[in-house]
Structure formats: structure tokens, C-alpha cells
A = this chain, B = another copy of it.
Amino acid sequence: MFACTSLGPAGFPGIFDAEYPEKGSALRINLNEFSYRKGAEIFGEKEPADYVYQIATGAVRSYKLLSDGRRQIGAFHLAGDIFGLEIGTDHRFTAEAIVDTTVRLMKRRSLELVAQNDLMVARNLLSMTTNNLRHAEDHMLLLGRKTSLERVAAFLIEMDKRSTAAGILALPMCRRDIADYLGLTLETVSRALSRLHALGILAFIGNNQRQIVLRDRDKLASLDLQY
């Protein structure tokens, strides 16, 4: 699981690589930094996709809304992740900063022009899209067929795999975000976490309910049925 847009802070050579222009391409690639306050919208669904983003620090949620307000978060993006990459002209998600966030951004058009001449860049685009697809496919199984406890367990495992400090999670997002990612309500998420706490599988660090220690990752993994 967990392939998402994340390929780690290593980044993508040839895409978000500042040295790239010196390697032979005649194009200058913009690598501006930009910051967003907690809760700020980075781009909206159906807006033209002019830029591609990479998170320097912070965290981002990307989601779709139904007209009556129901929300489905498709992915969380953490430090190092690239998001906002579209092959069509428009964004298919709204992206919001979960906490104060700094992103590097480049013009999509520059990327396209490079990709037209550079097969490695083109392959990286395909690779990123494929990773997003794999994540979406796994998430469909979760949303369509898993119980609430399985979903929360899968979420924790996913976050743990992305975390640098294995076994310790510092979640940037609130319970409602987790719920909208897992297709649940925030109360159900809270109850599932409480159950995992009661089972001794996880513990909270201090009084901060967003800092979690995974005490028994094997038992946690056994709660999320694999396929």
C-alpha cells in the first residue's frame, strides 16, 4: 500500500531537480517557493493546472466535494511529495494546506516542454501517475470493502511507512480529515483509535492526540486484512 505521490525527499531527478537545466536542456525551470497558511487553498478543482507542486515543509490534503458538502479526500501529501500534476488541463482535486506549508512550484508548461524532448522526464511523469493510480486502486478496496477498524489500521500503517521515525507518528491532520480520507465519520475514527489504544496496540504521546506510538505493529497489520 501507500504509493501515492510520495517518492521521498529524494525527489525526482529531471523533474524537481534544480541542476537539470545545466544538463543540456535549453529551458529554464522555475523553482519558486511559496507558502500557504493552515487551511489555505492551494488550487481548486477544475481550475487550470498551471503549476506542479512539491512540498518543502508542511502537509496538504486533496479532495473532491459533492454539492451537498460531503467530502472525499483522495490523498495526503507530506514533505517531499509532488502533487497537482495533471495530464489534462484542469485539476481534478482541490488542494488545501493542512498546516502552514511551503511548496516549491514549477510551471507545468515547462515540464511539458521538457518531457517532449526528454524521455527520462516523460518516464518519470508516467511513473508518478502510475504510483498515484496504484494508491487509488488500493484505496478503492479500502473504501468499498473494509470495516472501520481495518480502515483506521490501514491508515496508521500507511502513515507509519511514510514516516521517517518508524513507530512514531506525528499526524498533521485532524480526525475529520482522517474520516474523510477513510470514508467514515470523525466519531467512528475516534472510536477505532480508542479501541486500538485499549488493545495496547497504540499509545498517545503526552496529551497530544495526534502524536501516536505504534506499540505492536504486527498486531496492527493483522487487523488490516491483506489480499
Contacts and interface: CB of A to CB of B under 8 A. Distances in A.
Interface of A: 45, 64-68, 70-72, 74, 87-88, 92-93, 116, 119, 122-123, 125-127, 129-130, 132-134, 136-141, 143-146, 180, 182-183, 225-227
Given A129-B129, A144-B143, A225-B67, A137 B183 contact: no
Contacts of A72: 140-141, 144-145
Nearest to A150: B66
A145 B227 contact: no
A180 B145 CA distance: 8
Given A144-B183, A227-B45, A137 B65 contact: no
Nearest to A87: B130
A120 to B, nearest CB: 11
A145 B74 contact: no
Given A68-B225, A126-B126, 16 more contacts: A64-B137, A64-B141, A65-B227, A66-B141, A66-B145, A66-B146, A66-B226, A66-B227, A67-B225, A87-B127, A88-B130, A93-B137, A122-B122, A129-B130, A140-B140, A144-B183
Contacts of A122: 119, 122-123, 126
Contacts of A144: 72, 143, 180, 182-183
Given A67-B226, A145-B70, A183-B145, A136 B126 contact: no
B225 A145 contact: no
Nearest to A130: B87
23 contacts: A45-B227, A64-B137, A64-B138, A66-B141, A66-B146, A67-B227, A68-B225, A71-B145, A72-B144, A72-B145, A74-B137, A87-B126, A87-B127, A93-B137, A119-B119, A126-B129, A129-B130, A129-B133, A136-B140, A140-B140, A143-B143, A144-B183, A145-B183
